[in-house]
Amino acid sequence: MHTNLDYLRKVTESNEDMMKELIVIFKDQSLQLMDQLTGALQNKDWKAIAQLAHKAKSNVAVMGMQEMADELKKLELWAREQKNTEEYGKIIEKYKLVTQEALNELKEYLI
């Protein structure tokens, strides 16, 4: 289980409609960020990777995906300094995999 909706329940005061709306936004943003991160990596656009990792970090944190948020923070910091560039692809692939699994976990809210 990748997601923990405790934070989402807290900020929405357990409002199911609002939770569903935020989960749909999470899905849409995640799919867009996956594509953008892949493109930025292919283009070796480290500045874009830093910016996208920052957005993705916030996106997954709302869904209680703290471990992935920590990985994305590391990617963001590395990309800002253009360090460990050989590791970027591994983190991006992990992000894509974990986020797809999280979306599967959230399917009941996406109907």
* Cα 89 to chain centroid, rounded: 15
* The pLDDT of residue 109 is above 90: no
Q: Quick check: is 1 in a domain?
A: no
Q: Quick check: is 102 in a domain?
A: yes
109/17 Cα distance (integer angstroms): 9
Q: Quick check: is 92 in a domain?
A: yes
Structure-block tokens of residue 24: 């749909």
Q: Given this model, what pLDDT does residue 111 score?
A: 67
Q: Quick check: is 38 in a domain?
A: yes
Domain total in the chain: 1
The residues near 111 (Cβ < 8 Å, ≥ 6 apart) are none
| Per-residue three-class SS string for 8-34 | HHHHHCCCHHHHHHHHHHHHHHHHHHH
Q: Quick check: is 54 in a domain?
A: yes
**pLDDT tens digits along 78-95:** 999 999 999 999 999 999
pLDDT grade, residue 1 (50/70/90)? confident
The residue behind tokens 């253009």 is 82
pTM of the model as a whole: 0.92
